[in-house]
């Protein structure tokens, strides 16, 4: 992390204190879960990257865990919101198609915000591939997603645990899930998404509602929340292909099949 001059440091902490007070409770839980997973790593973070938080206090919180950290924002507008506080040298903008502006195997850990998985669904697998590319061997990916329940209240993209495994299966092993935002907090969150500007910090009334909802959710400690943070370990990239076995074929057909000759239901071209 680049050092700050004394005057800049005072201004930085004043700005971050304001952001810390006003950022929403779901984001607080998201950051807390990410810090929990960072503490589970066996070795120190020498190089880390946070993507898409657009909040200088959040990025600075990760920087305080140690190591050299970079920040990537997906648009020039979001870049401008945090670059002044964090330093132009440590904040970059992603490419037009979501490319991350780094060489291969540069980082020990990558932390992605929940907003990154609420964008165009077609852009998410390439972003996961990019995170895999810039992570070192044995590195970790941490990200947060909205969790789908029977009647999800979130207005953005939601995932089930099995869908997370499918999304990551080519290049990551899922190590752990951590849940937050139970029933009442999620109701306030859904209301905030519908009625408030997503780029504006929550007002005093919204923060008061979150405090009340958090208290009510203490009685629901036995349930899983609507927000899940995922801790993943990088492995070698290997695309999992669809099964060659027809869905109605017994397993014995696959075991006894000789791919060197054509067999009914198993043409040799399917094994090339």
What is the DSSP track for 223-241? S--SEEEEEEEE----PPP
Q: 163-197 as b/e, with b when 16 or more CB fall inside 10 Å? A: ebeebbebbbebeeebebbbbbbbbbbbebeeeee
Q: What is the reported pLDDT for 192?
A: 76
239-248 pLDDT per residue, tens: 876 555 555 5
Q: What is the mean pLDDT of residues 27-53?
A: 93
Nearest to 138 by CA among 31, 70, 41: 41
For residue 267, what pLDDT band results from cuts at 50, 70 and 90? low
The domains of the chain, with CATH numbers, are 6-240 (3.40.50.150), 244-272 (no CATH)
73-108 pLDDT per residue, tens: 988 988 998 998 888 889 999 988 889 999 999 999
Q: What is the reported pLDDT for 223?
A: 84
108-155 pLDDT per residue, tens: 999 999 888 876 677 888 999 999 999 999 999 999 998 876 544 444
More confident residue, 87 or 195: 87
Contacts of 206 (CB under 8 A, 6+ apart): 24, 188, 192, 196
> DSSP state, 266?
B
Dihedral pair phi/psi, residue 226, rounded to 5°: -90, -5
Q: What is the mean pLDDT of residues 15-35?
A: 71
C-alpha dist (Å) from residue 32 to 167, 187, 221, 240, 267: 24, 20, 17, 33, 53
Q: What is the reported pLDDT for 151?
A: 43
């Amino acid at each position: 992390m680049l050092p700050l001059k004394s005057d800049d440091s005072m201004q930085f902490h004043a700005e971050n204190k304001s952001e810390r007070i006003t950022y929403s409770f779901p984001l607080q839980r998201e950051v807390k879960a990410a810090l929990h997973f960072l503490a589970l790593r066996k070795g120190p973070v020498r190089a880390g990257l946070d993507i898409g938080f657009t909040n200088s206090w959040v990025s600075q919180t990760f920087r305080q865990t140690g190591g050299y950290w970079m920040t990537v924002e997906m648009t020039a507008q979001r870049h401008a919101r945090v670059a002044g506080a964090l330093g132009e040298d440590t904040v970059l903008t992603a490419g037009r198609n979501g490319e991350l502006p780094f060489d291969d195997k540069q980082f020990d850990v990558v932390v992605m915000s929940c907003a990154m998985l609420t964008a165009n669904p077609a852009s998410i697998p390439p972003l996961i591939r990019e995170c895999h590319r810039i992570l070192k061997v044995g590195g970790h990916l941490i990200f947060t997603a909205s969790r789908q329940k029977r009647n999800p209240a979130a207005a953005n993209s939601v995932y089930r645990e099995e869908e997370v495994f499918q999304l990551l299966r080519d290049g990551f092993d899922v190590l752990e899930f951590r849940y937050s935002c139970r029933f009442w907090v999620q109701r306030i969150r859904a209301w905030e998404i519908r009625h408030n500007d997503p780029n504006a910090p929550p007002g005093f009334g919204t923060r008061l509602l979150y405090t009340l909802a958090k208290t009510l959710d203490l009685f629901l400690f036995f349930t899983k929340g609507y927000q899940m943070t995922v801790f993943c370990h990088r492995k070698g990239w290997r695309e999992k292909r669809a099964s060659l076995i027809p869905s109605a074929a017994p397993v014995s057909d696959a075991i006894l099949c000789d791919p060197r000759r054509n067999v009914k239901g198993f043409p040799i071209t399917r094994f090339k």
